[in-house]
Amino acid sequence: MIIKTDILIIGGGISGLSLAVKLTKLAPDVQILLITKENVTECNTYYAQGGIACVWNENDSFEKHVQDTLIAGDGLCDEQVVRSIITKAPERIQELIDLGVLFTRNENGQYDLGKEGGHSERRILHVNDLTGQSIEQKLIEQVKKLKNVDIKEFWCAINLYAKNFECYGAYVLDQKSGEIHNIAAKSTILATGGAGKIYLYTTNPDVASGDGIAMAYRAGAIIANMEFYQFHPTCLYHPYAKSLLITEAMRGEGAILKDIKGNKFMQKYHPLKELAPRDVVSRAIDAELKRTGDDYVYLDIASYRNSNFIKTHFPGVYETCLKFNIDITKEPIPVVPAAHYCCGGVLTKIDGSTKVKNLYVIGESSCTGLHGANRLASNSLLEGLVCAHECANKIKNKLNVLKFNEFEEWEPGNAVPSTEAVILTQNWDEIRRFMWNYVGIVRTDLRLQRAKKRINLLLDEIDQYYWDFQIEKNLIELRNLATVAKLIIVSAISRKESRGIHYNLDYPEKSDMSRPTTLRRPW
């Protein structure tokens, strides 16, 4: 089935939803189709706990926020982009407030600004520890009121249609009917989030399989800095818990990391201790686990804050941990590091534009230069907001000169229904395990070369499966996940130093390689 729309937005997190709202205000007659491969709430935004970083009080300054971001980015940030996004933050945050997002206030009625690792001042606006959920719900409410925005849930993008570095739209699978649609669009925007499911342990939901990055790569876009995958230091360790992030704000409010014997250890690794940048904290925990042979460490807030404070400041974590018989007001939380955020992605300008005409990428799938070699905590939702705004303005100014370019319908060839789905689960599990063991928090050249050999073999298997059997969501995700795994591995091999999140035991020092790593599909 052929569908025409002015704008195709793939992804329903803060970036995609904000863009839909903005475009409707700027161009009330524009027709927008927004698709999500699961429920619209199932995205990284919804699970974001900490908040949004923004200069909001007189003790803080844009310059302080800029410098904190540059320090965290370890020499790879684009300073012009950093300054632009940070100075635009207050206006974008005010728009959320105007939409009805109720950021938490203190007893004096002022916004309760949190402090997280790497920040020199309190500047994290939050809704207790459910910030992403609150923002997502307000944006969904707003978008559903818009008559010119059509939301299609359980529609999974298979591939972009691009020719000569120009994007005409996408092939999309309707999971309920099994039909594959040709969606022709004047502009296509990827707002698909990250790729955390590429690793064995992650804070991301299952939908985070790197779809946008993989599709853009196949369309000819430039991919940058994929070796910089951020690991969050504290994910709940429990056999039945799934992807539960323990917010960094908890350490900002005094929680202490301890080994299972109750000994503090962060003082050995960084002067800021628990408030050191995420890569430092993650490596410290990883080193302690390798030293002791333990499976986890403890995050202890119960010893330092009273029960009422914990319940009011961290209600989400409190309630969820109780489901696993862990009362965080009385006992420490068992935690491990987990894959959290992709600092690389499709190389874009601040307005989301790429080297592929009429293709835009915003949010975690993009690489604007804001994060460099390591993202500063709570700068991600901020980037999504600002870049969605800039993208809307860019597209609005081009709408009158854009046109549809129809393309051929999906050709199923001789594909038959799958009888070997076990291949999908086997390959997925294998990728996630060797990525964790070989391309994780600490790397070596030998581990990376082993990973490269394995991913090349698996890509051949997956490609054969892709052409032999009918398309389904699990196959689409596996194909994308394997592509992104290859991008991360190749990028990591090419960086002969340790910088930011990328730590290689064979090159423990920083070199003069202060430039992005870029990859582009051969044409």
CA distances 244 to 87, 321, 479, Å, are: 32, 9, 26
Q: Tell me the C-alpha distance between 468 and 465, whole Å.
A: 5
Cα-Cα-Cα-Cα dihedral sign, residues 124, 128, 133, 138: negative
Q: Kindly name the residue from 92, 251, 278, 283 that is annotated as catalytic.
A: 278
**Is 305 a residue of the active site?**
no
- Measured over all CA atoms, what is the biggest interatomic distance in the chain, rounded to whole angstroms? 68
Q: Tell me the C-alpha distance between 282 and 290, whole Å.
A: 12
Under 8 Å between Cβ of 476 and 171: no
Which residues in 191-272 belong to E strands, given as ranges? Answer: 223-224, 229-236, 256-258
Q: Tell me the C-alpha distance between 281 and 54, whole Å.
A: 23
Q: Tell me the C-alpha distance between 99 and 231, whole Å.
A: 32
Under 8 Å between Cβ of 386 and 241: no
The number of residues making up the chain comes to 523
CB environment 280-315: b (16+ within 10 A), e (fewer): bbbbbbbebbeeeeeebbbbbbbeebeeeebbebbe
Eight-state DSSP code of residue 212: H
Cα-Cα-Cα-Cα dihedral sign, residues 317, 332, 52, 128: positive
Residue 253: partners with Cβ closer than 8 Å, 6 or more residues away: 114, 301, 305, 309, 313
Chain-centre distance for alpha carbon 472: 23
Question: Which of 441, 251, 242, 227 lies closest to 345 in space, CA to CA?
Answer: 227
Secondary structure (3-state) at 479: helix
Give the phi and the psi of residue 52 in degrees, each rounded to 5. -125, 130
Catalytic residue annotation: 278
